[in-house]
Structure 1
Amino acid sequence: MSVLAKPFKPKFSKFDYFIIGLTYVFFPLALIIAAFRILPTQQHHSFRGRNARLIGWVLFGTYIMTSLIISLGSETSEEFLNGNLAMALCLLVPAMLLLVAADLADKKFRKLLRIYAEAVLQRRLIYIDHIAIVANQTQAHVIRDLNFMIKERMLPSGRIENDVLMITSLHRESVEPAETQQDIGSKSVECSGCGARTVISHQEEKECEYCGTIIVA
């Protein structure tokens, strides 16, 4: 299987870090912003692991803050433990599951990227429907993923037009120039039999095409 020129490394944006930080200031707003942040990008394979990881860390921060609030409002240790257990089940467990799911999503996407790289770089597939069959993905997903790979320089520079992947450096046809000059050392020799002239190379013997006489340069 083909090796990517640049490996896929998911990372948070500055806005993602802002959302996580906001969790420790006002977690209800952070949860709302995080939801709006992931909804438009969830259909992209490249964002799925990152989105799950973002929600996981926001839920973890929410658990920390709610535990702090419960500890301040609880009159007995029993109330604190019961409230903290409820928050752990509602927030901490889903957060851990989402962080695990994020790693699995990234691993799955890395495997998919290697399939794309093999299809494009080794098998030289250019039609989106053919690549979709190889990758077992919809054409819409293939287009998004290939555009992501081109943008992140995992594939050579190119573009997709009319469901065809155009990468000039991979699909350029080499054309050899035609010979326009005679070989060095060739000359025109007159046939001793009929007088016709024939082009012949140095030290070459050639039969005259008119009378059959052997001509020697």
Structure 2
Amino acid sequence: MKVSETQQYEPQPTGWDALILLGSFILFPVILLPVLWKFISSTHLNYRKGYSYYQLTNCLIGGYIFIVMYYFFVPYSEFEPSQRANKAMGLALAVGIIGILIVAVLYGLRLRANKRFYTLAKEYESLVSNGLHSIEDIALHVHQPLSAVLKDLQYLLNHKLFPNGIIKEGRVRLNAYNQHSDKPGMESTHNLVHNTDETPLETTVPPGPKSHECIGCGNKVMLNPLESLPCEYCGLPLTYT
């Protein structure tokens, strides 16, 4: 299925999403609580809002099956088979209509959130490509909190929106040989080669292993220099910085 352009930056579904859907069939109230907590706790993350609506939708779909099956096997068990089936069908229809309306609203909110982040991502790309590398200055231009911009850029860097980019000392650092190197505010390839001729090339030895926190789910992973691994919980790529 082709992904809409405005939806391309939404995190990819993981095994956790499948667990939410299947778990909701069996233990809907238990699964709903952590999903709601994750939904509320990640409302400040621009890149994750659409994905949060997606997870909540999966949970509600599983919850619909849970409710119908629960009433069929527990409260309605005292009725005759024909009455039991009729009541279960009536409940399924009533809950289904309400569920469809809720899912439709959540789907609309998901598309809206992803479209908004797509617009933000393009603004980030334009600003950085034109030499604005300070995260604080970028936040002022896009009218977003500094912490939100930092999380957004970390996510986009992991998804290769910027070539070989890292965040260091409050600035986005791009590879000197990328296609935007001749634009204002960025070091040109010519100057880099010129300086290399005058002084010996210095090789920076990266530090040792360091703990990194996943910006998607908060899981902490120990990474070695130059190592990149997917988060074992949400699948978001983690890169040593």
- Aligned-pair CA distance for 1:95: 2.7
Contact 1:10–1:106 (8 Å) recurs in 2? no
Matching residue within 160, 164, 168 for 2:171: 164
Matching residue within 135, 149, 155 for 2:156: 149
Moved more, 160-169 or 57-66: 160-169
Contact 2:46–2:152 (8 Å) recurs in 1? yes
- Aligned-pair CA distance for 1:91: 4.2
- Aligned-pair CA distance for 1:70: 3.3
Aligned equivalents of 1:60, 1:116: Cα separation in 2: 35
- Aligned-pair CA distance for 1:31: 1.0
Letter in 2 for 1:42: T
Moved more, 108-117 or 164-173: 164-173
Residue 44 of structure 1 pairs with residue 51 of structure 2: no
- Aligned-pair CA distance for 1:66: 1.1
Q: Which secondary structure state, in structure 1, belongs to the residue aligned with residue 167 of structure 2?
A: strand
Matching residue within 78, 93, 106 for 1:98: 106
Q: 2:220 maps to which residue?
A: none
Normalised TM-score (structure 2): 0.61
Aligned equivalents of 1:15, 1:114: Cα separation in 2: 29
Structure 1 unmatched runs, 5+: 179-217
Contact 2:21–2:61 (8 Å) recurs in 1? no
Letter in 1 for 2:161: M
Q: Would the alpha carbon gap of residues 64 and 92 (structure 1) be closer, same or farther in structure 2, given more than 3 Å must change?
A: farther
Residue 136 of structure 1 pairs with residue 152 of structure 2: no
Deviations 1:143-194 (A, max 9, x none): 111111111111122333333222242422332759xxxxxxxxxxxxxxxx
Q: Which secondary structure state, in structure 1, belongs to the residue aligned with residue 172 of structure 2?
A: strand
Matching residue within 104, 125, 137 for 1:117: 125
- Aligned-pair CA distance for 1:116: 0.8
Contact 1:67–1:84 (8 Å) recurs in 2? yes
Normalised TM-score (structure 1): 0.67
Q: 2:69 maps to which residue?
A: 68
Q: Which secondary structure state, in structure 1, belongs to the residue aligned with residue 103 of structure 2?
A: helix
- Aligned-pair CA distance for 1:86: 5.3
- Aligned-pair CA distance for 1:80: 4.6
Q: Would the alpha carbon gap of residues 177 and 47 (structure 1) be closer, same or farther in structure 2, given more than 3 Å must change?
A: closer
Q: 1:18 maps to which residue?
A: 19
Q: 2:34 maps to which residue?
A: 33
Aligned equivalents of 1:52, 1:177: Cα separation in 2: 51
Aligned equivalents of 1:160, 1:11: Cα separation in 2: 23
Aligned equivalents of 1:88, 1:168: Cα separation in 2: 52
Moved more, 32-41 or 147-156: 32-41
Letter in 1 for 2:171: V
| RMSD, aligned α-carbons | 3.0
- Aligned-pair CA distance for 1:119: 1.0
Residue 87 of structure 1 pairs with residue 106 of structure 2: no
Q: 1:185 maps to which residue?
A: none
Structure 2 unmatched runs, 5+: 196-241
Q: Which secondary structure state, in structure 2, belongs to the residue aligned with residue 165 of structure 1?
A: strand
Size of the alignment, in residue pairs? 173
Q: 1:210 maps to which residue?
A: none
